[in-house]
Amino acid sequence: MRNTNRPYRIIISGGGTGGHIYPAVAIANQIKAISPESEILFVGAKGRMEMTRVPEAGYKIVGLWISGLQRRLTIDNLSFPLKVLSSVRASHKIINDFKPDAVVGVGGYASGPLLYAATAKGIPSLIQEQNSYAGITNKLLAKRVGKVCVAYENMDKFFPADKLVLTGNPVRQDILDITEKRREALLHFGLNSEKKTILVIGGSLGARTINQSIAGGLEQLTIAGYQLIWQTGKGYYAEAKELEQNYSDKGVRVFDFIKRMDLAYAAADIVVSRAGALSISELCLAAKPCILVPSPNVAEDHQTKNAMALVQQHAAILVRDAEASQKLIPAALQLAQDEKEQQRLSENIKKMARPNAAADIVNELVKLIK
């Protein structure tokens, strides 16, 4: 897309997990790429991960007092109506002060009140749905916004068909070309270029089943000669870090969070991952053979649906969460030893990549503004 001289004022709202935050930052970066003078403000939920991750990416963020409804009766649930009213009021003030040309919602708690307030004022609005199963906030907002950008086919069961645009999920640009980064990656993680590397990622918040399965299989993996880059999330980090001491000379590297995911993908020969929408979009672009272990703790089991979209194209291997403790390590060992299968999975997953997602979304946004 060519550069445009017109500076835009855009609010991007949402968050809660990396799966919402990274697409939001990718959209912001694309707006800056076509119009460097543009002003971008993020709106998140106080106390959530976006409040630190967004400033790290170089953008300003303000927080709303908002959280989700719990499935059981809690104090949080009793204060929920108050939080919604307070957040809608705060959103009106943010919009009045910032005067945006348009608003983008990426899902997560904060996007509800902000987009509700923006659409009430007639401000052009767009939502981006990352998953194959739509989130409740986005479903509620769909009737009010101008466009709904999605990453999967057949999303008209959740959204008005005339508003849908199939764009894919925007991801970090540095993942687009990792083929030249392998040497740098191995140096960065202190790994041996003679050994194969398995990358384990449980999503931005970690994944207990994957972590426990890997912990139980470290001996097998290292005896077989494989090295490991293991992102545990915060909850399991201390435990895994203790284990690392026994295996660091064998190439086991443990992190609670990996900032340089481009280098993690570049170093990896195979990947074990949850099946969040963002992880899948990144794996498609990185073209890595992968084993997906969908989280069972998500609405309508949407990670299994995400994973099956790949499995049906022979583009990934599925291990169910309930079976991971028995099946994950054998599946990883089998794939790591089978170069033909790695090649096949890599070629098939690459066909599903949508490298221009951020540009396509911003294109739709500009059309709404005009």
Which residues are part of a known binding site for UDP-N-acetyl-alpha-D-glucosamine? Answer: 17-19, 131, 172, 204, 258, 303
Give the integer Cα–Cα distance in Å for 133 and 332: 28
- Maximal CA-CA distance, the chain: 62
Where is the binding site, in residues?
A: 17-19, 131, 172, 204, 258, 303
CA dihedral for 49, 124, 89, 85, sign (positive or negative) = negative
Per the structure block, which two tokens stand in for 223?
């005896």
Token code pair at residue 361: 């979304």
Query: Which residue has tokens 């912990």?
Result: 215
What region does 225 belong to: left with phi over 0, alpha with psi -120 to 50, or beta?
Answer: left
Nearest to residue 268, comparing CAs of 319, 218, 229, 303?
229
Length of the chain: 370
Phi-psi category of 341—alpha, beta or left, where left has phi over 0 and alpha has psi -120 to 50?
Answer: alpha
Instruction: Report which of 335, 190, 355 is spatially closest to residue 286, judged by C-alpha positions.
Output: 355
Contact between 129 and 23 (Cβ < 8 Å): no
Note the helical H segments in the chain.
18-34, 50-56, 75-98, 111-120, 136-141, 182-189, 208-223, 234-247, 261-267, 277-286, 302-311, 324-337, 339-350, 357-369
| Bridge partners, residue 201, by sequence | 231, 273
Burial class from Cβ neighbours inside 10 Å (0-12, 13-18, 19+) for residue 168 reads buried
Contact assessment for residue 64 and residue 32, using Cβ atoms and an 8 Å cutoff:
no
Reading phi first (left if > 0) and then psi (alpha if -120 to 50, else beta), residue 106 is in: alpha
Nearest of 174, 184, 191, 147 to residue 361 by alpha carbon:
147
